Amino acid sequence: MKINRPRGTRDFLPEVTARRRHVEGKMRDVVKNWGYSEIITPTFESLDLFTLKSGEGIIGELYNFTDKGDREMTLRPELTAPVMRMYVNEMQATQKPLKLFYFENCFRYERPQKGRFREFWQFGVEVIGSSRSDADAEVIALATNMLDSAGIKGDLHVGHLGIIRHILSVLEIEQQSQIMRLVDKKDDTGLDDYLEQINAPADLRRNLLELICLTGNDAVEKARAVIGGIPELDTFKELLTLLDAYGIDYNVDFGIARGLDYYTGMVFEIYAEGLGAQNQVCGGGSYNLIKLFGGGDVPSTGFGIGFDRIMEICDIEADEPKKVVVISTDSTRLDAIKIANELRRVAPVHLDIMKRNFKKQMSHANYIGADYTVIVGERELEAGKVTLKDMESGEQSLISVDEVTRKISLRSI
């Protein structure tokens, strides 16, 4: 019986896996060089962890289930909430700031479409314990550096929800949340209709609609003219000054809302070409979730990178390792195993496990694109040497195993 893979999932063949690991490795190198430590959380969590954060409406998007102890569980749909749960459970006494990163698979039960899968990978960063603009700026700069390492030139948009919330402060919390969701969706018609429905004050409507349309480098001063000199604008101005120091290109965009209630201040999104309408590859901001999960009032900031979207447009190829094939006869097979083990200290080595004859072993070496073959025959062993053949030039030489090791080491195999 043939069993197909589940809908919305993928099999990654060796070449694709090598390329994904190569790009992942580049991004890992960047985040480690910025002083961040990797963490791993469980693949499944209590359902409450995500309904507390996002409301009961999220259940329809989850792979949730009841376990054998009648506990409501779910495969994780994202990793920010699990990291905050981990902090409350394990790390509250740790000196701040905590600089953490993760690279894990997540699951959402949604209709599969181009670039969106039910199982997907997220590369993310969380900084816990700092409310300073310095933390916000570092997180944004780190995100752009990670994307640069993957060859992605993104279009960075930065905003500040505290400024929008200042305008909405006269409304009820539920009304503010709905407005933020409409702003996030860029649903201008729906926003206008909702403001009419709740009978929002005329000056609020005017200021909000004017603010969320502000973009560009003069947007801060234009916002100041709209709503006056509020502290949030000064904080945002400080953030932009720090981004300038990092040498980051950005667009001020007060229309970014992120659509989730736990974001509190700075928000940013990065878009990339080649992905169509769904072109956001990174998003994040400052938020406060820890108190929701039983911890203190601890500020955090972070981001998530959609790794699968990155791989759709990334043109970096994995480094192709040199291939060495050790070829033997029936009578030299045991010696070939020992020699292969020696050579594996410096290079990837293939050894016949099909008990092919000499001719077929050479044919297989050609088939897999071997760069070198190391021939272990009776004549070679009697001389205490092996034959090293360069498969491209056809040149071969009778040399010791130590000499083979040195030669392939010098070629950075």
Alpha carbon separation from 169 to 101, 172, 291, 389 (Å, rounded): 34, 8, 21, 76
pLDDT tens string, the chain, 413 residues long: the values are 999 999 999 999 999 999 999 999 999 999 999 999 999 999 999 999 999 887 788 899 999 999 999 999 999 999 999 999 999 999 999 999 999 999 999 999 987 666 679 999 999 999 999 999 999 999 999 999 999 999 998 999 999 998 888 888 888 878 888 888 888 888 888 888 898 889 888 888 888 888 888 888 788 888 898 888 889 999 999 999 999 999 999 999 988 887 566 788 999 999 998 787 778 999 999 998 999 899 999 999 999 999 999 999 998 888 888 899 999 999 999 999 999 999 999 999 999 999 999 999 999 999 999 999 999 999 999 999 999 999 999 999 999 999 999 988 876 44
Q: Is residue 41 situated within a structural domain? A: yes
The residue segments making up the domain with residue 351 are 324-410
In 3D, which of 402, 272, 384 has the Cα closest to residue 343?
A: 402
330 and 232 within one domain: no
Contact assessment for residue 271 and residue 68, using Cβ atoms and an 8 Å cutoff: no
Do 300 and 379 fall into the same domain?
no
Count of CB atoms within 10 A of residue 175's CB? 16
8 in a domain, yes or no? no
What CATH number is associated with residue 172? 3.30.930.10
Which pLDDT score, from 0 to 100, does residue 260 have?
Answer: 64
Shared domain for 50 and 196, answered yes or no, is: yes
Write down the H helix ranges in 117-201.
133-149, 161-168, 173-184, 188-197
Token readout for 398 is 């009778």
Number of domain units in the chain? 2
> Do 285 and 385 belong to one domain?
no
In a domain, 46, yes or no: yes
In whole angstroms, what is the distance from residue 318 CA to residue 176 CA? 47
Measured distance CA(293)–CA(338) in Å, rounded = 56
Residue 6 maps to a domain: no
Q: Are residues 124 and 246 in the same domain?
A: yes
Boundary-marking domain end, from 281, 313, 345: 313
Considering the domain boundaries, does residue 277 fall inside one? yes
Domain match, 303 and 255 both: yes
- Of 258, 293, 313, the residue that ends a domain is 313
Identity of the residue numbered 334: L
CATH of the domain at 404: 3.40.50.800
Query: Is 179 a member of any domain?
Result: yes
Q: Tokens at residue 336, please?
A: 């070939």
Specify whether 264 is located in the same domain as 336.
no
Question: Coil, helix or strand for 214?
Answer: coil
Task: Specify the amino acid at residue 28.
Answer: R
Q: Are residues 143 and 65 in the same domain?
A: yes
Cα dihedral sign, 103-97-144-259: positive
Can you tell me the distance from the alpha carbon of 247 to that of 154, in angstroms, rounded to the nearest whole number?
Answer: 14
CB neighbours (10 Å) of residue 113? 9
Helix%, strand%, coil% for the chain, nearest 5: 45, 20, 35
Residue 319 in any domain: the answer is: no
Indicate the residue among 290, 313, 336 that finishes a domain. Answer: 313
Distance of CA 1 to the CA centre of its chain: 36
Taking alpha carbons only, the member of 284, 341, 47 closest to residue 156 is 284
Q: Edge-to-edge strand order for the sheet containing 300-306?
A: 37-38, 98-107, 119-128, 300-306, 280-287, 263-271, 155-160, 251-252
> Number of helices and strands (H, E) in the chain?
15, 16
In a domain, 175, yes or no: yes
Beta bridge partners of 157: 251, 269
d(CA 187, CA 237): 27
Q: Same domain, yes or no, for 258 and 129?
A: yes
